[in-house]
């Protein structure tokens, strides 16, 4: 009996020792896991994870914008960037934003294709507590608490600048009072860049009754579509004096179409463009383009600064415009070496 009690006691002791041992092992394992997680993610833990939904790669401007964002939102600068190219489709952007939410990113950055259609998905980001920075084009929402801030261009002012430059140029040529027939290659319909430039140009030029806007059509901000639409315009109208291309790439397409039709762009037909990318300066130096109204794509550094401030709980300015100029052909050779994009 004594022997049986002793055996039983030893069993209890053994089980208790194993239990303590297991407990210790478990604790150790948890500690080491925490340490590993802490040390392995030490660098990544400090990084701010940004999900960036970009419009696409439709133009030189867009490529420069992507480069600026990637350079500023680098690991060396304290960021982990998840980049999503929407290929000019808003539905791809909605999907990307939902992916960012499920990945629990720290900040969402969106360069929106079009202004409308953002309420639902931005409501989801807000519910998830993720701040949203809008860059480049604007969004049209009734509740502006759906985004933290916006950085971009004054597109309407760009349109006004283009019209004023044109009127002044024609005055200098001595043809200020002559009739001028204008065609407009618009950007993506419903994008802030298209809406603002169309409104700014149309409203300003309407003050000069000798300027006749024959037609406005979208060239989707691409060179190929710009060329295609210009070819159609040339078939329809034989009296085009001015082309307003709402970006440089569409202007390059229009220039090709005009040359193929035996016209001399920059002389027979005045070419007014937007963006002021390096290739536009080459085109102006070659005499093909008359002016490019700048649209500044270098948003990266400002977005990086805003993301850091938002993560630190600081309040930021809601609306921030970038600085932009107007570059006529006669300034191109001197300005080209200074251009960053």
Q: Which residues bind ligand AHR (CB under 6 A)?
A: 58-59, 61-62, 136-137, 193, 221, 247, 274-275, 295
Min dist. Cβ of residue 277 to ligand AHR (A): 8
C-beta of 49 vs 292, nearer to ligand AHR: 292
| 38 backbone dihedrals φ, ψ, rounded to 5° | -65, -50
Residues 6+ apart with CB under 8 A from 67: 300, 341
Min dist. Cβ of residue 189 to ligand AHR (A): 13
DSSP 154: -
C-beta of 136 vs 161, nearer to ligand AHR: 136
Contact indicator for 184, 198 with CB cutoff of 8 Å: yes
Q: What gap in Å lies between CA 228 and CA 213, rounded to an integer?
A: 19
C-beta of 186 vs 247, nearer to ligand AHR: 247
What does each C-alpha distance from 2 to 5, 10, 16 come to in angstroms? 5, 12, 21
Residues composing the chain = 341
Min dist. Cβ of residue 275 to ligand AHR (A): 5
Greatest C-alpha distance within the chain: 125
C-beta of 247 vs 290, nearer to ligand AHR: 247
Pairing of strands 291-294, 326-328: antiparallel
> What DSSP assignment string belongs to 55-121?
--S-SHHHHHHHHHHHHHTSTTTTEEEEEEE-TT-HHHHHHHHHHHHHTT-SEEEE--SSSSS-HHH
Min dist. Cβ of residue 334 to ligand AHR (A): 23
Min dist. Cβ of residue 297 to ligand AHR (A): 7
Min dist. Cβ of residue 125 to ligand AHR (A): 21
Show the tokens assigned to 5: 């009690």
What residues does 269 pair with on adjacent strands? 265
C-beta of 53 vs 59, nearer to ligand AHR: 59
C-beta of 49 vs 188, nearer to ligand AHR: 188
Min dist. Cβ of residue 274 to ligand AHR (A): 5
C-beta of 113 vs 242, nearer to ligand AHR: 113
């Amino acid at each position: 009996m004594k022997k049986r009690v002793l055996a039983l006691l030893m069993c209890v002791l053994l089980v208790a020792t194993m239990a303590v041992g297991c407990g210790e092992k478990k604790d150790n394992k948890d500690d080491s896991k925490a340490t590993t997680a802490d040390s392995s993610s030490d660098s990544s833990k400090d990084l701010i994870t940004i999900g960036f939904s970009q419009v696409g790669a439709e133009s030189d401007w867009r490529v420069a914008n992507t480069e600026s964002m990637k350079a500023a939102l680098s690991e060396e600068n304290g960021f982990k960037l998840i980049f999503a190219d929407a290929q000019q489709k808003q539905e791809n952007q909605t999907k990307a934003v939902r992916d960012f939410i499920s990945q629990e990113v720290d900040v969402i950055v969106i360069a929106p294709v079009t202004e409308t259609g953002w309420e639902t998905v931005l409501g989801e980001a807000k519910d998830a507590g993720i701040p949203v920075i809008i860059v480049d084009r604007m969004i049209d929402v009734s509740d502006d608490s759906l985004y933290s801030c916006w950085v971009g261009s004054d597109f309407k002012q760009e349109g006004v600048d283009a019209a004023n430059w044109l009127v002044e140029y024609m005055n200098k040529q001595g043809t200020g009072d002559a009739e001028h027939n204008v065609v407009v290659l618009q950007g993506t319909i419903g994008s802030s860049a298209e809406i603002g430039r169309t409104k700014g140009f149309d409203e300003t030029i309407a003050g000069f009754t000798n300027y006749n806007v024959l037609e406005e059509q979208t060239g989707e901000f691409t060179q190929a579509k710009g060329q295609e639409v210009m070819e159609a315009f040339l078939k329809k109208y034989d009296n085009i004096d001015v082309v307003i291309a709402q970006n440089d790439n569409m202007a390059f397409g229009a220039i090709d179409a005009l040359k193929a039709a035996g016209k001399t762009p920059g002389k027979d037909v005045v070419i007014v463009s937007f963006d002021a990318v390096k290739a536009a300066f080459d085109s102006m130096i070659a005499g093909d383009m008359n002016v490019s109204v700048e649209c500044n794509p270098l948003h990266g550094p400002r977005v990086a600064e805003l993301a850091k401030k938002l993560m630190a709980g600081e309040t930021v300015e809601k609306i921030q415009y970038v600085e932009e100029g107007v570059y006529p052909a006669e300034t191109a050779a001197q300005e080209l070496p200074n251009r960053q994009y």
